[in-house]
């Protein structure tokens, strides 16, 4: 649903979607979802490790962050800061950070010195030991300990 943005200045935004360390496929998916839902983008900032989209709908930004995590696996962090008051209600600006991974489902990785296969990436990363078959789950805050096997 497109909210009426009549009277809003061209730079108006409610949310920032930050894509970091992502593949071109992730970026194209995000851009496609923005176009499909007709969300206004006030500006796009290119960075050396990603891109920021300034969006007109904070609920859309939250949902898109979850979609990206479900489809590609990765870490999302959502923060909200009080921006002002509108008609007696507090108005928040939301920042959704999506950080991609250097591996995907089905890849072979090294974790704690042993070889694992990536089975699932959702809220956590689920790995299965190649030799023993033992399954472990790794939280995204420890994802730097998981290295893709060359």
Q: Is residue 35 domain-shared with residue 80, that is, in the same domain?
A: yes
Residue 77 lies in a domain: yes
Q: Is residue 119 domain-shared with residue 95, that is, in the same domain?
A: no
Residue 51 lies in a domain: yes
For 96-149, the pLDDT digits (tens) are: 999 887 777 788 888 888 888 888 777 778 888 888 888 888 887 777 778 777
Q: Is residue 90 domain-shared with residue 116, that is, in the same domain?
A: no
Output the six-digit token pair for 97: 């950070």
CATH, residue 20: 3.30.70
What confidence score (pLDDT) does residue 94 get? 92
Residue 4 lies in a domain: no
Residue 26 lies in a domain: yes
20 phi and psi angles, rounded to 5 deg: -125, 140
Residue 6 lies in a domain: no
For 74-91, the pLDDT digits (tens) are: 788 899 888 887 788 887
- At 5, the pLDDT band (50, 70, 90 cuts) reads low
Q: In DSSP terms, which residues pair with 76 in a beta bridge?
A: 98
Pick left, alpha or beta for residue 19 (phi over 0 → left; psi -120 to 50 → alpha; otherwise beta): beta
Q: Is residue 130 domain-shared with residue 91, that is, in the same domain?
A: no
Cα separations (Å) of 19 from 26, 68, 71, 79, 135?
8, 10, 14, 14, 30
Residue 50 lies in a domain: yes
The overall average pLDDT reported for the chain is: 84
Q: Taking residues 23-31, report their average pLDDT.
A: 90
Overall number of domains in the chain: 2
Which DSSP state fits 4? Answer: P
Q: Is residue 118 domain-shared with residue 95, that is, in the same domain?
A: no
Tell me the residue ranges of DSSP E strands in 8-134. 15-20, 41-47, 50-55, 74-86, 89-100, 108-111, 114-121, 125-129
| 8 A C-beta contact, residue 63 and residue 94 | no
pTM for the whole structure: 0.75
Domain that holds residue 142: 108-148
- The strands making up 114-121's β-sheet, listed across from edge to edge, are 135-138, 125-129, 114-121, 108-111, 146-148
Q: Is residue 112 domain-shared with residue 96, that is, in the same domain?
A: no
């Amino acid at each position: 649903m497109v909210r009426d943005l009549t009277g809003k200045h061209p730079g108006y935004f409610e949310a920032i979607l930050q894509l970091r360390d992502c593949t071109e496929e992730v970026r194209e998916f995000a851009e496609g979802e923005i176009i499909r839902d007709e969300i206004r983008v006030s500006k796009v900032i290119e960075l050396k490790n990603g891109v920021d989209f300034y969006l007109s709908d904070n609920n859309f930004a939250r949902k898109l962050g979850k979609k990206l995590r479900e489809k590609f696996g990765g870490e999302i962090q959502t923060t909200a800061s009080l921006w002002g008051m509108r008609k007696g209600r507090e108005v928040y600006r939301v920042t959704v950070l999506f950080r991609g991974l250097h591996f995907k489902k089905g890849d072979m990785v090294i974790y704690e010195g042993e070889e694992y296969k990536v089975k699932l990436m959702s809220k956590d990363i689920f790995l299965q030991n190649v030799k023993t078959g033992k399954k472990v789950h790794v939280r995204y805050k420890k994802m730097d300990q998981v290295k893709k096997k060359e």
